[in-house]
């Protein structure tokens, strides 16, 4: 399973963009993929498509789909996370009698499966994270979400989740009455080292719950804890009054607790990769360091942030290119989300024959 390297470098253009700035990011996309963006926008005026996102946990599925919508047309594109749907039902609807009755009534009319609605609902409201819900039930929940957003192109994140669900996804557009919509798989290749660092250095604001990363996505300010001899991020949301961002319990273990999940996700991606008859968009998060100068600009490479104290004991936030090893052990750079989304835009335009 080899994911191709897509070049986003335009040799005659020497401009640098700040990809964290929304305005500059818009200009960046116009330069790198303007014609394809216009073609997709025109297509979405009268058409739609379904894309199934397949990638390991923390591989960027939500980030890529939301950025695609932001750049192309947020009113014509919807992102459905199966995990978020199930969590919302479990955490919010279960305790609301009116919403719970509405859900049960809808499922009674639309769900078909080998387990009764009553038993499935009971399992859902009392489930733990290890309990698997029936595939037919997941299909029904996704159908319900889709019914809330008619005539939109869909990025479905979290289905298929099991090997048997891949065959379901092949016929899913018929089940939800999207018979004329083209469908495709979006497969994401991310080194385990990248996922490990995303988890290990993640920091959360205790007030606004904003997530950043001490190593990979710094805030504008940082501090130093003399007692612990460690640097920390300061939330730069004005409403948080410079709260110190903290590490969630368990994040220090990185990918260790989810290794089995990552292995299963990898198997799903390989299975989908081998399928015939459904187009595939292949997104690659990393590129070998030796090839980077030929195919990407420096600002498209994910920076690694590090910290130093100046002579006045003030924290200075520094950055340098972040080097990792891909799953074959090749020294590589991880890419910022925008260049990955550029390749996604161009591939989707090609898949749709635009």
What are the start and end residues of each CATH 3.40.50 domain in the chain?
Answer: 22-76+152-351
Assign domain 22-76+152-351 to a CATH class. alpha beta
pLDDT tens track, the chain, 354 positions: 788 999 999 888 888 998 888 889 999 999 999 999 999 999 999 988 888 888 888 888 888 988 899 899 989 998 888 878 777 777 667 667 787 788 778 878 877 777 777 777 777 776 554 556 777 777 778 788 877 777 788 888 876 566 665 665 555 555 555 556 788 889 999 999 999 999 999 999 888 888 889 999 888 889 999 999 999 999 887 777 788 999 988 999 999 988 988 888 888 888 888 877 789 999 999 999 999 999 999 999 999 999 999 888 899 999 988 999 988 899 999 999 999 999 999 999 999 999
Q: Which residues pair with 81 in a beta bridge?
A: 157
Point out which residues pair with 246 in neighbouring strands.
Answer: 204
- Indicate the pTM of the whole model: 0.84
| Tens digits of residue pLDDT in 195-228 | 999 999 999 988 888 888 999 988 888 999 999 9
Edge to edge, what strands does the sheet with 331-334 contain? Answer: 286-288, 331-334, 323-325
Give the per-residue pLDDT at 72.
Answer: 93
Checking DSSP bridges between strand 153-157 and strand 50-54, what pairing results, if any? parallel
The pLDDT assigned to 349 comes to: 96
Alpha carbon distance 107, 137 (integer Å): 9
């Amino acid at each position: 399973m080899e994911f191709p390297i897509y070049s986003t470098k335009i040799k005659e253009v020497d401009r640098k963009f700040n990809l964290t700035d929304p305005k500059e990011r818009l200009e960046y996309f116009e330069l790198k993929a303007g014609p394809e963006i216009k073609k997709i926008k025109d297509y979405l005026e009268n058409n739609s498509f379904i894309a199934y996102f397949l990638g390991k946990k923390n591989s960027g599925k939500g980030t890529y789909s939301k950025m695609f919508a932001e750049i192309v047309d947020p009113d014509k594109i919807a992102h459905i996370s199966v995990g978020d749907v199930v969590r919302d039902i479990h955490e919010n609807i279960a305790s609301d009698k009116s919403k719970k009755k509405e859900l049960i009534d809808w499922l009674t009319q639309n769900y078909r499966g080998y387990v009764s609605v009553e038993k499935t609902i009971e399992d859902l409201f009392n489930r733990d994270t290890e309990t698997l819900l029936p595939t037919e039930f997941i299909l029904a929940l996704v159908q319900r979400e889709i019914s809330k957003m008619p005539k939109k192109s869909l990025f479905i994140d979290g289905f298929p989740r099991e090997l048997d669900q891949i065959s379901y996804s092949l016929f899913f557009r018929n089940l939800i009455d999207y018979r004329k919509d083209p469908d495709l798989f979006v497969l994401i290749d991310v080194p385990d080292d990248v996922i490990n660092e995303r988890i290990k250095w993640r920091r959360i604001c205790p007030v606004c719950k904003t997530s950043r990363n001490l190593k990979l996505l710094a805030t504008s300010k940082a501090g130093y804890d003399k007692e612990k001899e460690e640097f920390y991020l300061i939330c730069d949301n004005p409403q948080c009054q410079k709260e110190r961002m903290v590490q969630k319990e368990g994040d220090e273990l990185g990918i260790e607790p989810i290794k089995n999940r990552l292995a299963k996700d990898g198997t799903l991606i390989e299975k989908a990769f081998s399928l015939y008859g459904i187009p595939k968009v292949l997104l690659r998060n990393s590129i070998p360091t030796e090839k980077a100068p030929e195919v990407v600009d420096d600002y498209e490479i994910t920076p690694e942030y590090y910290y130093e104290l100046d002579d006045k004991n003030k924290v200075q936030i520094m950055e340098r290119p972040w080097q990792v090893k891909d799953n074959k052990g090749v020294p590589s750079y991880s890419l910022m989300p925008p260049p990955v989304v550029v390749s996604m835009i161009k591939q989707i335009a090609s898949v749709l024959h635009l």
